[in-house]
Amino acid sequence: MSTSTMNANRSNTLAAGRLRPGVMVSMGVFAVAVPLFVLWALVGNLPNLFVVAFIAIILFLILLGVTSRIVEGGRRAKDRVITTLVVSSFVLALVPLVSLLWTVIARGLTRFDGSFFGMSMRNIVGNGGGALHAIIGTLLITLMATIISVPVGILTAIYLTEYARGNVLSKVLSALVDVMTGIPSIVAGLFIAALAGLLIGPGTTTGFLGALALSVLMVPTVVRSAEEMLKLVPNELREASYALGVPKWVTVLRVVVRTAAAGLTTSVMLAISRVIGETAPLLIVAGFTPSMNYNLFSGPMMTLPVFVYDQYAHKGLPPEAFDARSWAGALTLILLAMVLNVGARLLGKLLSPKTR
Amino acid sequence: MTAAAGNIPKPKRRLGDLVFSRVSVFAGILILVVLAAVAVFLTAYSLPAFFADPKTLSSSQPTSFWAYVAPLAFGTVWAAFLALLISLPFSILVALFVTQYAPRRLATIFGYIIDILAAVPSVVFGLWGIVVLAPSIVPVYTWISDALGWIPLFSGPVAADGRTILTAAIVLAIMILPIMTAMCREVFDQTPRLHIEAALALGATRWEMVKTAVLPFGRPGIIAAAMLVLSPAQVISFALFHSENPNTIAANIALNYPESSGIQVNALMASGLILFVITILVNMLARWIVRRRAAFSGAN
């Protein structure tokens, strides 16, 4: 008799003041079922699932908060509500992003074929055609932008971390690099357009100008992330090198930059993946063309983002063909950015010097 | 002998050192020059627009330059503000989920996914917004207008194609969500382990730990992320949206620049200058807030 009550008491003390999982599951089912059926009854057909989910989450939060406050007290109730909020907002945030990826893949695959990667848009009026000219243009312009901005960016980062010991120039420079990260991409395009208008003649569009505009956007990103990477190099390495009588510039090149090589590669590739999808500046300074153009220095050059925009915004007949090309271009663009992104991380892992 | 001892040799300045340090200084100065050139060129090209006959500035024949640019500037700031309002709580919560709530192994995978989504080009978001989001959001607008129409704010007919500034702001919000989440995640990840463990050891619930250790530590980072992410995001997605009636500066330039000439180009440049000034002001505000807050944050 007494042992059984003790047992009961013990199981009670362990479970006391806690919501049982069963209770929460039933509250969850209730919270989903009520808006679903109420809306179904009101609207007549299956309601928008996103709206149902939204109402269900709010309902569940209220139910959980109230019951938990009664059973478990205020602190734990708050914790439970916030946990639910965090998890559900994660799920909610994923919905549009998954929808985006799904749409691009589903619609992009219709024209993701050989001729899309093998043909330009020259003399194409309706169906067919491809984005080869735009892909080549994007690769050339991005390559050129990288060639311009990587040395400038990394050297500036080296100056900031290795040479400037908090002097006035470095303070001004770091503030201005921050300002530069905030330059809207369209302003970079306008700046290059203004420059070209003055030096060459108004309305000039070439691939090289596009690369310059992208460099304006790329340099600050490279500087910022390269600086972070160089700062991670332990000071002991520099001091060891100096102690061996190695000149400063050799130390910087062979010790500091070598140690940070992986991080620098990653930061450069991430910077590329940021600018490869830029549309606005290229629209202004690199221009539109349906033809192949391998020459960065003369004539307009098509790029992939501009191609996507152009095919969608300036549709001819039949419009489906233009839509399909636009989505296929979008898919190619996403894939390019992803390959760069994943590649950057893999390279970063592979190249990083073994510290253990 | 004694004279030589007092004569400490000066360290030799090597040619390599000199060249390398000069080159790196030069790279830094080049950045200053470029930024100055951006400001100077934009201003120089904008000046004619301020003094020209306002009727020639655009096909809509505005009464003055400011009448031309003010609605665009307002549209830009308003859309950015709405987007931030939607996106900021979400990205903080998602970043918290990834860093503090999700199991470790899953968290790394989510981190990668977010980083990849952050690299999706804006033009793709714009395309998705106009083709998928705008049509599917119209019923919600209609419902709001029907149910809450008695509030003056929600009265009036709903745009049939859903291409409103709110839709644009939602697309912008979705677009900046992964970028901002990635930034917040980095900040939260750097919360000192000791602060977290100390909070938990004192018996804090997980939320109390987040509130007392993670959020105070990350606050300047969050503010900086929010302000910084918006400026590169003033992008082309709007151009796809409002093809007849662009209502942000960036969209207006992107749409009209290729067909403009003469004084209209100057007007577009002038609006670009104003966008530049707005961005820099917001940026400086962000840095000022971060600096002011940094002193009181949990970081020290």
Determine the distance from the C-alpha atom of residue A20 to the mean position of all C-alpha atoms in its chain, rounded to a whole number. 41
Say if residue B6's pLDDT is above 90.
Answer: no
Could B38 and A216 be called an inter-chain contact, meaning their C-beta atoms sit closer than 8 Å?
Answer: yes
Average pLDDT over residues A153-157: 92
- Examine the domain organization and report whether A97 and A130 are in the same domain: no
Within 88-127 of B, beta carbons closer than 8 Å to A belong to: 89-91, 93-94, 96-98, 101, 112, 115-117, 119-127
Centre a 10 Å sphere on the Cβ of residue B60 and count the other Cβ atoms it contains. 9
Q: What percent of chain B has pLDDT over 90?
A: 7
What is the per-residue pLDDT for A47? Answer: 65
Using pLDDT thresholds of 50, 70 and 90, give the confidence band for residue B200: very high
Confidence bin at B97 (pLDDT 50/70/90): very high
Mean pLDDT lowest for which of A76-80, A174-178, B125-129, B287-291? Answer: B287-291
Q: So what's the pLDDT on residue A104? A: 92
pLDDT above 70 for A356: no
Domain-embedded: residue A356? no
* A148 and A280 inside one domain: yes
- CA-nearest residue to A185 within chain B is B232
Contacts of A217 in chain B (CB under 8 A): 232
Nearest-CA distance from B215 to chain A in Å?
A: 14
Q: Which amino acid is at B20?
A: F
Mean pLDDT of all residues in chain A?
Answer: 84
Whether B1 has a pLDDT exceeding 50, the answer reads no
First and final C-alpha spacing in chain B: 54
Q: Taking CA atoms, what residue in A is nearest to B280?
A: A179
- In our burial notation (b when 16+ CB lie closer than 10 A, e otherwise), range A207-217 reads bbbbbbbbbbb
Interface check for B279 against chain A (CB to CB < 8 A): the answer is yes
pLDDT for B197:
92
Task: Tell me what pLDDT residue A331 has.
Answer: 93
B239 with A313: Cβ contact below 8 A: yes
**Model pLDDT, residue B238:** 52
The domain of A86 spans 3-110
Residue B156 confidence (pLDDT): 61
- The sign one gets for the Cα dihedral A298, A331, A185, B130 is positive
User: Would you give the DSSP letter of residue B157?
Assistant: P
What b/e sequence results for B222-261 when a residue is b if at least 16 CB atoms lie within 10 Å of its CB, and e otherwise?
A: bbbbbbbbbbbbbbbbbbbbbeeebbbbbbbbbbbbeebe
Cα A251 to Cα B278: distance, rounded to the nearest angstrom: 42
A84, part of any domain: yes
**A-proximal residues of B, 46-65, CB under 8 Å:** none
| Other C-beta atoms lying within 10 Å of the C-beta of residue A250 | 14
**Which residue pairs, CB below 8 angstroms and at least 24 apart, start in A148-151?**
A148/A211, A148/A212, A148/A215, A149/A214, A149/A215, A149/A218, A149/A219, A149/A222, A149/A271, A150/A222, A150/A268, A151/B27
* Lowest-confidence segment of A250-254, A351-355, B175-179, B275-279 by average pLDDT: A351-355
Q: What is the per-residue pLDDT for A299?
A: 85
Find chain A residues with C-beta within 8 A of B90's C-beta.
89, 92-93
CA–CA separation, A231 and B145 (whole Å): 55
Residue A239 has a pLDDT of 92
* The predicted structure's pLDDT at residue B235: 52
Residue A338 maps to a domain: yes
With beta carbons under 8 A apart, name residues in chain B contacting A287: 258
List CB contacts of B217: < 8 A, sequence separation 6 or more.
B187, B188, B190, B191, B192, B195, B297, B298, B299
Rounded to the nearest angstrom, the minimum Cα separation between A289 and chain B is: 12
Q: What is the DSSP letter of B205?
A: -
Q: Are residues A106 and A121 in the same domain?
A: no
Q: Tell me the chain A residues in contact with residue B133 when contact means C-beta distances shorter than 8 Å.
A: 96
Say yes or no: A143 and A81 in one domain: no
Q: Name the range with the highest mean pLDDT among A48-62, B60-74, B194-208.
A: B194-208
Of the ranges A122-136, B218-232, B254-268, the best mean pLDDT one: A122-136
Quick one: pLDDT at residue A138?
93
pLDDT digits (tens, 9 = 90+) for A68-78: 888 888 888 88
Residues A64, A180: one domain?
A: no
Residues A73 and A205 in one domain: no
Judged by phi (left if over 0) then psi (alpha if -120 to 50, else beta), residue B121 lies in: beta
Verify that A15 and A88 share a domain, yes or no. yes
* Domain harbouring A257, CATH code: 1.10.3720.10
pLDDT of A6 strictly over 70:
no
- A315 and A346 in a single domain? The answer is yes
SS3 assignment, position A112:
coil
Single out the residue in A58, A76, A110 at which a domain terminates.
A110
Indicate if the pLDDT at residue A329 is higher than 60: yes
**Contacts with B211 (C-beta within 8 Å, 6 or more apart), sequence order:** none
Whether the Cβ atoms of residue A326 and residue B127 lie closer than 8 Å to each other: yes
Give the tens place of pLDDT for each residue, A194-209.
Answer: 888 888 877 788 889 9
Residue A292 Cα distances to A119, A221, A310, A338, A343, angstroms: 9, 31, 16, 25, 28
Flag if A182 and B279 touch (Cβ within 8 Å): yes
Cross-chain residue pair A90–B97, CB shorter than 8 Å: yes
- Mean pLDDT throughout A6-21? 59
Q: How many domains does chain A have?
A: 2
Residue-level pLDDT at A8: 47
| Whether residue A275 sits in one domain with residue A180 | yes
Lowest mean per-residue pLDDT among A281-290, B121-130, B191-200, B222-231: B222-231
Q: How far is CA B211 from the centre of its chain?
A: 26
In a domain, A20, yes or no: yes
Sort out which chain B residues have CB atoms less than 8 A from A247's CB and list them.
14, 16-17
pLDDT for A15 equals 59
| Distance, CA of A253 to CA of A248 (rounded, Å) | 9
Query: Residue A25: its pLDDT value, please?
Result: 83
* Percentage of the residues of chain A whose pLDDT score is greater than 90: 18
Say if residue A162's pLDDT is above 50.
yes
- Chain B segment 181-240 residues within 8 A of A by beta carbon are 181, 205-208, 210, 228, 231-232, 234-236, 239-240
Tell me the pLDDT band of A342, cut-offs 50, 70 and 90: confident
pLDDT, tens digit (0-9, with 9 covering 90-100), for A219-276: 988 998 898 888 888 889 999 999 998 988 899 988 999 888 888 888 888 888 888 8
Q: For residue A32, what is the enclosing H or E element?
A: helix A21-43
On the question of pLDDT at B204 being above 70, the answer is: yes
Residue B242 sits at the vertex; the CA angle it makes with B238 and B247, to the nearest 5 degrees, is: 75
Higher-pLDDT residue of B146 and B246 is: B146
Lowest mean pLDDT among A35-44, A131-140, A227-236: A35-44
Of A79, A95, A110, the residue that ends a domain is: A110
**Residues A336, A212 share a domain:** yes
pLDDT in tens, B103-133: 888 888 888 888 888 888 888 888 888 888 8
Tokens of A340: 């760069």
Q: Which of A48-52, A81-85, A324-328 has the lowest mean pLDDT?
A: A48-52
A contacts of B264 (beta carbons < 8 Å): none
pTM of the model: 0.82
The region of weakest confidence among B161-170, B206-215, B259-268 is B161-170
Same domain, A248 and A161: yes
DSSP A49: H
pLDDT of residue B297: 45
The answer on A132 and A102 residing in a single domain is: no
B interface test, pick of A187, A200, A224, A231 with most B CB neighbours within 10 Å:
A187
Residue A46 has a pLDDT of 66
Residue A112 phi/psi, 5-degree rounding, is -85, 70
| pLDDT for res B44 | 86
**Nearest CB to B28: which of A173, A193, A247?**
A173
Determine whether B9 is exposed, middle or buried from the number of CB atoms within 10 Å of its CB (0-12, 13-18, 19+): exposed
Domain boundary residue among A110, A126, A150? A110
Of all residues in chain B, what percent carry a pLDDT higher than 70? 79
Cβ burial, residue A268 (10 Å; 0-12/13-18/19+): buried
- pLDDT at B245 (0 to 100): 56
Asked if the model's pLDDT at residue B208 lies above 60, the reply is yes
**What is the structure's pLDDT at B247?**
67
